[in-house]
Amino acid sequence: MSENHPLMRSYGRVKSRPIKPRQAALMDTRLPELRVPTEPFEPKALKPDAAEVWLEIGFGGGEHMAAQAGRRPEVLVIGAEPFQNGVASAVRHIEEQNLANVRLHDGDVRDLIARLPDASLERVFILFPDPWPKARHHKRRLVQADLVAELARVLKPGGRLRFASDWADYVDWTLERLRASPAFRWTAERADDWTRPPEDHITTRYEEKRLGDCDPVFLDFVRV
């Protein structure tokens, strides 16, 4: 998807290895209960007592999402991930930790965001998305001007956006697009603010693999 192209789609694999039998069974029984509505909806209707609503875009295996939800049971955490093996893993985490404050969208997050009302989220995480490092594939990167505009729409004033990557070029790419938006302010004041994991960060298995070309970088933004 280019920055000016209206087509929404996810690139990359939707499924790789066979899903384990127990996880496959949970996909059949629990995933239908966990899915967010397929039509426009008010997130807090899913958890009327939710103090806040958070969105994790591309939750991978779901360990960060589940851990954040476990820490903050008063928060509704919505996760979006098109990769079916990751969704199966997340459903297992939700089941094993008995989490009642997580809902899932097993598809392209842009379809989900389009169904959310304005100013409906307090927090968004984009952690270690596919970097698409080759220049000819940059149009496939998740962070594009149109997504930034949609995140500005659904985040409340004062809402927070965190982006993390271990690919230097993708960090620069994201900084350029977020700082070009008048809706977002980068909160960093010194190098430690982006070179050290934030206090509330939860390390993921992908992060530990160090597959990128730099140490992990964490960019926090506020919706102004």
As a whole number of angstroms, the distance between CA 189 and CA 192 comes to 8
Determine if residue 49 is labeled as part of a ligand binding site.
Answer: no
How many residues would you count in the chain?
A: 224
216 Cβ contact partners less than 8 Å away, ≥ 6 residues apart: 128, 164, 165, 166, 197, 207
As a whole number of angstroms, the distance between CA 161 and CA 158 comes to 10
Determine if residue 206 is labeled as part of a ligand binding site.
Answer: yes
Determine if residue 106 is labeled as part of a ligand binding site.
Answer: no
Catalytic residues: 130
Determine if residue 28 is labeled as part of a ligand binding site.
Answer: no
Determine if residue 56 is labeled as part of a ligand binding site.
Answer: yes
As a whole number of angstroms, the distance between CA 29 and CA 26 comes to 5
Among 91, 110, 82, 95, which Cα is nearest to 16's?
A: 82
Determine if residue 81 is labeled as part of a ligand binding site.
Answer: yes
- Adjacency order of strands within the sheet including 184-186: 102-105, 75-80, 52-57, 121-127, 155-165, 217-223, 184-186
Determine if residue 11 is labeled as part of a ligand binding site.
Answer: no
As a whole number of angstroms, the distance between CA 194 and CA 188 comes to 7
Determine if residue 170 is labeled as part of a ligand binding site.
Answer: no
Buried b / exposed e over 207-218, threshold 16 CB at 10 Å, is beeeebeeebbb
Annotated binding site: 56, 81, 108, 130, 134, 166, 204-207
Annotated binding site for S-adenosyl-L-methionine: 56, 81, 108, 130
Annotated binding site for substrate: 134, 166, 204-207
